[in-house]
Amino acid sequence: MFDHLLTDVCTVSAYLGPLAGDPYQSPTYGPKVATRCAWAQSAQKVRDSDGNERVSADQLASGVKIGLKDKVWLPGEDVANDDVAHTPIAIRNDASRSTGTRLYQTFF
């Protein structure tokens, strides 16, 4: 239903949890997956998962839920460089009343 609005592509690597047996509990991530999205750059105040007010500089809308610990490369970023990956500061979702289709907003 929203696919015609998702004209950009971001890349997502899902957080899988801490590395088993690692005393430092280093995070592990799944494969990098290209995901259709709508990307916007604008300053927007949001509340993070702890309830703190933060300023988001980038926002994505997609049909795929992105977790708060996932790594995300915004459109045009070098996905080979893990140092440029972002982690979300907030996530919201909406559903179409008529179809139940979900659209997720992710804030960085």
Task: State pLDDT tens for residues 7-62.
Answer: 999 999 999 999 988 899 999 999 999 999 999 999 999 999 899 999 999 999 99
CATH architecture label of 3-107: Beta Barrel (2.40)
Report domain extents, the chain. 3-107
CB 66 within 8 A of CB 59: no
| H or E stretch at 105 | strand 102-107
Give the DSSP letter string of 33-82. EEEEEEEEEEEEEEE-TTS-EEEEEEEEEESS---TT-EEE-TTS-TT-G
